[in-house]
């Protein structure tokens, strides 16, 4: 017998020791395989339960977003969780499901729904009883959300110069950043190529300049190639005309150089001759003929603020052939407007119907000083001449600053906070 064969075969006294060693190794391997199987089983169980909890909580949040009560939201969440295979006492008593109002701040309000799911999962090795409890929870709500962009160019196409700033224009933002959704290689175009650019400044912003496509020229705190972002204001409903008086077909006469108008539907443009001030009383204004400041009339709101909805003729029954006029502030017109401080349009000063693509134009030596959000989702905002726009938030399809000054100070206290359903935790 050679030394090598002796090593493998061993003598009779060593054979029993080898069997014990092999058994121990096999047992360890079986334990490892069992643990891996149990870990995979628990992972799948947790993942599946978490997805059901998330879906249920979100279903409840959607009901709250649509104006339903918390009780209705609770029922919707419970139904959705059940549809995904989880119910109180389900699977032979191995499931627990609760849909409650969250107790932890800041979610402990009826704006949120919490879903908790517990599942007893049968395992091979741990624990000894063969059942391991998996517990998951999710919280969703319909809550105010504004993404802190002072200027948003929403156009999602391959549109060049979706945000354009000429050398003669100045863009100054404080407290909020810039979003450009266009995927064009020149989505954001600044004629000034200096970095940092002297004509575009962004300070105290949590976002900087965020662009889905590329840029030309200098841009501060720049991030390009980012995923396009959804329009957070898209869920805003158009105003109802219920309770409004018959449409106004003319403006009242001036008294002491002041034309005072009341909330309602206007089939004529909001305009007047120079030297006149148009004063808007608090409430909702539905404009079917736009705003025309070419007569150099000043426009102002009273202390309670206004909500202006610019739309097509024959609203709310607009159809084929109806037209839409935009906003034109030219000459030396001075505009000073504030949004309402309560109600469904709190913080939203101007909303142009998505069906309207008419231009929002500020030019000449006009000055527009506003607080609140200006929302023009399917049209361009253009600033030209030596005009000045001082505001809180500007959201448009595209933004063109040919000349003049645009200064935006973003503040969540004065801008619109759209309510959207979302997972919170």
For 94-135, how does the pLDDT look when each residue is reduced to its tens digit (9 = 90+)? 899 999 999 888 888 888 999 999 999 887 665 555 688 889
Q: What does the pLDDT average to over 165-191?
A: 97
Cβ atoms of 370 and 335 within 8 Å: the answer is: yes
Residue 183 reports pLDDT greater than 90: yes
pLDDT band at 13 (very low <50, low <70, confident <90, very high): low
Q: What does the pLDDT average to over 318-335?
A: 93
Domain spans of the chain, in order of start: 14-144, 149-420
Summarised one tens digit per residue, pLDDT across range 245-289 is 999 999 999 999 999 999 999 999 999 988 899 999 999 999 999
d(CA 297, CA 333): 5
β-strand 306-310 against 283-287: which pairing, if any? parallel
d(CA 255, CA 89): 73
Residue 52 reports pLDDT greater than 50: yes
pTM above 0.85, yes or no: no
For 78, list phi and psi in degrees, rounded to 5. -60, -45
Query: What pLDDT score was predicted for residue 195?
Result: 87
């Amino acid at each position: 017998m050679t030394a090598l064969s002796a090593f493998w075969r061993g003598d009779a006294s060593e054979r029993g020791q080898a069997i014990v060693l092999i058994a121990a190794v096999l047992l360890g391997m079986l334990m490892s395989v069992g643990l891996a199987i149990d870990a995979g089983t628990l992972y799948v169980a947790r993942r599946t339960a978490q997805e059901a909890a998330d879906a249920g909580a979100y279903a409840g949040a959607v009901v709250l977003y649509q104006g339903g009560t918390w009780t209705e939201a609770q029922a919707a969440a419970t139904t959705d969780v059940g549809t995904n295979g989880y119910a109180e006492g389900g699977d032979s008593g191995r499931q627990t499901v609760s849909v409650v109002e969250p107790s932890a701040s800041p979610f402990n309000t009826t704006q949120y729904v919490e879903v908790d799911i517990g599942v007893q999962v049968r395992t091979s090795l741990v624990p000894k009883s063969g059942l391991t409890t998996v517990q998951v929870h999710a919280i969703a709500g319909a809550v105010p959300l504004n993404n802190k962009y002072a200027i948003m160019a929403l156009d999602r196409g391959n549109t060049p110069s979706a945000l354009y700033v000429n050398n003669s224009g100045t863009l100054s933002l404080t407290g909020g950043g810039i979003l450009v959704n266009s995927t064009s290689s020149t989505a954001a175009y600044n004629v000034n190529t200096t970095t940092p650019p002297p004509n575009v400044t962004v300070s105290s912003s949590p976002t900087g300049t965020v662009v889905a496509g590329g840029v030309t020229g200098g841009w501060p705190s720049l991030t390009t190639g980012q995923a396009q972002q959804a329009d957070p204001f898209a869920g805003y409903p158009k105003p109802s005309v219920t309770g409004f008086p018959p449409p106004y077909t003319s403006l009242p006469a001036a008294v002491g150089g002041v034309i005072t108008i009341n909330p309602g539907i206007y089939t004529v443009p909001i305009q007047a001759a120079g030297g006149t001030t148009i004063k808007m009383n608090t409430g909702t204004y539905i404009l079917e003929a736009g705003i025309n400041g070419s007569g150099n009339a000043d426009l102002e709101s009273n202390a309670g603020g206004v909500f202006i909805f610019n739309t097509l003729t024959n609203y709310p029954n607009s159809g084929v052939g109806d037209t839409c006029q935009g906003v034109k502030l030219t000459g030396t017109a001075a505009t000073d407007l504030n949004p309402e401080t309560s109600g469904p349009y709190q913080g939203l000063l101007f909303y142009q119907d998505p069906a309207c693509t008419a231009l929002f134009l500020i030019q000449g030596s006009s000055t527009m000083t506003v607080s609140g959000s200006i929302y023009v989702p399917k049209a361009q905002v253009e600033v030209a001449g030596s005009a000045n726009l001082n505001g809180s938030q500007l959201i448009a399809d595209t933004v063109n600053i040919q000349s003049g000054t645009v200064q935006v100070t973003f503040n969540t206290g004065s801008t619109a906070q759209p309510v959207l359903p979302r997972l919170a935790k």
